[in-house]
Chain A
Amino acid sequence: MRPLTETETRAVFEKLGKYIGENIQLLVDRPDGTYCFRLHRDRVYYLSEKLLKLAASVPRESLVAPGTCFGKFTKSQKFRLSVTALDFLAPYAKYKVWVKPGSEQSFLYGNHVLKSGLGRITESTAQYQGVVVYSMADVPLGFGVAAKSTQECRKVDPLAIVVFHQADVGEYVRNEDTLT
């Protein structure tokens, strides 16, 4: 387990910024202590400093998961955000999309969100903006990328994709093995 390098930190914060904007500082300085990011086996983990001390004493081969995994670096050093970060990003999300109950299941299976399933969308969402997907009951379902800006969403036909799927909570059941 090691701290992130400059490039890595930049990549991660850039990605996070897509979803929560400038609120990254809120992630690091929380009221209950300072939190930090650490890299372990190509995955980025988010943990408090207290937990860091405990995790540091575990032998590296035996350590499986210190804290919460936010995502992983691919072989070509791109940062891919995983659904396990949802709990932390959802409260600070700037652009949100609400999905109708009927197409909730479809999103949870890994499909993109169509216009027919779109319930609400935050005003002034740009195209290709990172969004957090919610159900109508305000339960966070996952991440996505807006395929169309809000204005365009109003005009487009019902079967067009409005949000590209990136990660959803259904992966806990579908891809349990690849979470770690």
Chain B
Amino acid sequence: MGRKLDPTRKEKRGPGRKARKQRGAEVELARFLPPEPETGRKKLSSHGRKRAAKRRLGAGGGPAGRRPLGGAGEREPPGRTAHGFSDGNSKWLAPAKAKKTQPKGNHVELSSDGEVEEGSWEMEEDGSSEEMVDDYGASSSEEEELLPIEKAALKQKPDREGLSEDDSEEEEEEEEEAEEASKQKMGQKEEEGPDLQLNLDIDEPFKLPTSEEIEKEDILFISEPPDLHAIHQRIQGNMEVLQDFGVKREEGRSRQEYLELLRRDMAAYYSYSDFLLTKLMDIFPLPELVNFLEANEVPRPVTIRTNTLKTRRRDLAQALINRGVNLDPLGKWSKTGLVIYDSTVPIGATPEYLAGHYMLQGASSLLPVMALAPQENERILDMCCAPGGKTSYIAQLMKNTGMILANDSSAERLRSVVGNLHRLGVTNAVVSNCDGRQFPKVLGGFDRVLLDAPCSGTGVISKDPAVKTNKDETDILRCAHLQKELILSAIDSVNAASETGGYIVYCTCSIMVEENEWVVDYALKKRNVRLVATGLDFGKEGFTRFKDRRFHPSLKSTRRFYPHTHNMDGFFIAKFKKFSNAIPQAQKAALSPVPDTTIIEPPPKKKKLEGSKADKEQKLPQPALKKKRSLQAQRRPLRA
């Protein structure tokens, strides 16, 4: 204490508006008076001279006030609290940590405000000596010859700058609010030395605006665009409070209000609809949510998949490097993927691309096919195949043996499927244009089925930002309904008795629980399937419970991928194994199994979804069916 002589007359210091107001003739004149000649002193900068002038002005009462402090200093430590002075200034003034000696002298030459923080930061970090010092760094020990005021002129100038800014800000704050949280926050802020920035808002504790202020903002929003920087700051401040709610909250404001404000701010800053943001807040914890939103603003790296039917990854990488492409293998988990950093030629038009040596494909699209693990000479159904990346990957894993039925319900998108399959040299595929729900009536008895269901696309927001705003509750539920129908059709199209197969892989490029875990859980209830491990050892496990819903525990084997954790598009993958061809429903008769002898032949046309009882009895004598009858009796076994 001791800087102010007259508590009723506060002088504003620092770059703020109030500091620039004129203070009176003698004060103003003192700026231009020549500095007093002092020997053995370094030449002061213009700033230093101004300070010296100011101090001279207050010097009349200064030294007189200082001595008592010097003496009182020893008395004070027992009296002062850990975080403030014992006088009435504890609200806005925090004690400076013990001061440094000569080494600080080199900071005197600093004249720009930008560099002053170093001095003030060092001030914080030098926490070894916690003794009480006044603002000019006078310690009670009084070792130095120079008066504290003169020492201050030498070394404390940078520190003063930092402190004075805080002071001016606190003074402004003080008029606005009187919460106790601010004191504590400030005290804590002092310890977080490295986080201090010149930015005023950081020191300013987060204050939840009242509903009137929010309404005012809404009105303003209509007339002018929102201040994004301010919103961003507010988001950060809000998150900090929410992280440590017990300590940093304001009295009388509930957590809900903070969350509500956060939601609105995030929706405004990242341009999301309220609905979508609410959903995301349910799925992600707050710090992860920010990472997710930030990751959605940035596109994922371009990746390609080598077509092993025509070339090898090594040769392809060499050829592309010769063309001037900067690339790297995708990761340990993929033997065919390459990630492109930058390229002098367009990747989608190189002669190697045209010759079918590679396919442009997202990294996450490789995963469901790896989970499916198609074997040679199998019959595979790809229910929603456009634009054909996964289908061609299946074909290359099967080395063009066996058969693939590539189906999609959209005729225009099928054109790209045909183009891609021809370009990549896939010969074992038949392309069809049916609605996926028509399977298995059209054709059934496959060994494996891949269902990349149409979804809301919330995992690929970075590719299509329109998803941020145009999805609402009905869209999600409609997608979920379609996905449920498709997954039942997919399960029915698989032959559980197949020797090498019997697997269904369900995947979506969405992160919504309604489209992922809910659909999978529905399938587990409705059909004789169980979840098995996908074979992908990285990725987050799917949820087994979410809000008020509880899913089957085996959902832990499903995998979720996020843009902010894995740097690939958001994805969800689940792998089922069908253990019985029977449909567990009272009215429905069992599906007739495909005869094991002729795997190649398409199943007889009389196989229908709602089989007649006569059909069932006809098939009874078959030995294969006897095994299935025992399986029919089994319900879906509960696996942990």
Contacts and interface: CB of A to CB of B under 8 A. Distances in A.
A176 B416 contact: yes
Interface in A109-166: 135, 137, 139-141
A57 B446 CA distance: 13
A108 B354 contact: yes
Contacts of A68: 422, 427
Nearest to B428: A51
A84 B422 CA distance: 6
B602 A54 contact: yes
B602 A172 contact: no
Nearest to A57: B602
Contact of A50 (B352, B431, B600): B600
Contacts of A141: 351, 354-355
A179 B442 contact: no
B379 interface: yes
Contacts of B414: 64, 180
Contacts of B319: 137
Contacts, number: 103
B348 interface: yes
B553 interface: no
A27 interface: no
Contacts of A58: 405, 430, 432, 434, 442-443
A104 B507 CA distance: 40
Interface residues of A, number: 38
Contact of B351 (A51, A57, A61, A108): A108
B2 interface: no
B415 A176 contact: yes
Contacts of A56: 602
B242 interface: no
Nearest to B408: A64
A172 B351 contact: no
A59 B379 CA distance: 18
Contacts of A54: 379, 403, 405, 430, 443, 602
B425 interface: yes
A87 B602 CA distance: 28
A69 B417 CA distance: 13
B26 interface: no
A24 interface: no
Interface string B336-349: 00000000000011
A50 B601 CA distance: 8
Interface in B600-638: 600-602, 605
A177 B416 CA distance: 8
A5 B173 CA distance: 92
Interface in B461-503: none
A87 B401 CA distance: 17
Contacts of A104: 351
B419 interface: yes
A62 B408 CA distance: 10
A169 interface: yes
B443 A139 contact: no
A180 B431 CA distance: 11
A17 interface: no
A69 B433 CA distance: 17
B433 A62 contact: yes
Nearest to B401: A32
A170 interface: yes
Interface string B218-245: 0000000000000000000000000000
Contact of B355 (A32, A59, A139): A139
Interface in B555-598: none
B602 A177 contact: no
Given A53-B601, A62-B432, A67-B427, A172 B418 contact: no
A87 B414 CA distance: 21
B419 A179 contact: yes
A14 B431 CA distance: 28
B351 A139 contact: yes
Nearest to A139: B355
A47 B351 CA distance: 26
Contacts of B442: 57-59, 62
Contact of B415 (A53, A57, A139, A180): A180
Nearest to B435: A62
A173 B354 contact: yes
A143 to B, nearest CB: 14
B355 A69 contact: no
A69 B236 CA distance: 58
A62 B434 contact: yes
B83 interface: no
Given A51-B403, A63-B430, A173-B349, A179 B422 contact: yes
B423 interface: yes
A137 B310 CA distance: 14
Contacts of A140: 355
Interface in A37-92: 47-48, 50-51, 53-59, 61-69, 84, 87
A174 B67 CA distance: 88
A30 B442 CA distance: 30
B495 to A, nearest CB: 14
A102 B425 CA distance: 26
A172 B415 contact: no
Nearest to A168: B354
B434 A59 contact: yes
Contacts of B429: 65, 67
A172 B423 contact: yes
Given A53-B601, A54-B405, A54-B430, A64 B418 contact: yes
A44 to B, nearest CB: 13
A168 B401 CA distance: 27
Nearest to A68: B427
Contact of B432 (A32, A64, A87, A179): A64
Contacts of A179: 415, 418-419, 422
B284 to A, nearest CB: 39
Contacts of B401: 32
Given A63-B432, A68-B422, A176-B415, A57 B354 contact: no
Contacts of A62: 432-434, 442
A59 B416 CA distance: 21
A170 B434 CA distance: 30
B349 A177 contact: no
Contacts of A139: 351-352, 355
Closest 5 CB pairs of A and B: A169-B354, A65-B431, A84-B422, A57-B602, A64-B431
16 contacts: A51-B403, A54-B405, A54-B430, A55-B430, A57-B443, A58-B405, A58-B434, A62-B432, A62-B434, A63-B431, A63-B432, A64-B417, A64-B433, A65-B429, A170-B354, A176-B416
Interface of A: 32, 47-48, 50-51, 53-59, 61-69, 84, 87, 104, 108, 135, 137, 139-141, 169-170, 172-173, 176-177, 179-180
Given A64-B432, A176-B419, 12 more contacts: A53-B602, A54-B443, A57-B602, A58-B443, A62-B434, A69-B418, A108-B354, A140-B355, A141-B354, A170-B354, A176-B415, A179-B415
Interface of B: 319, 348-349, 351-352, 354-356, 379, 401, 403, 405, 411, 414-419, 421-423, 425, 427-434, 442-443, 600-602, 605
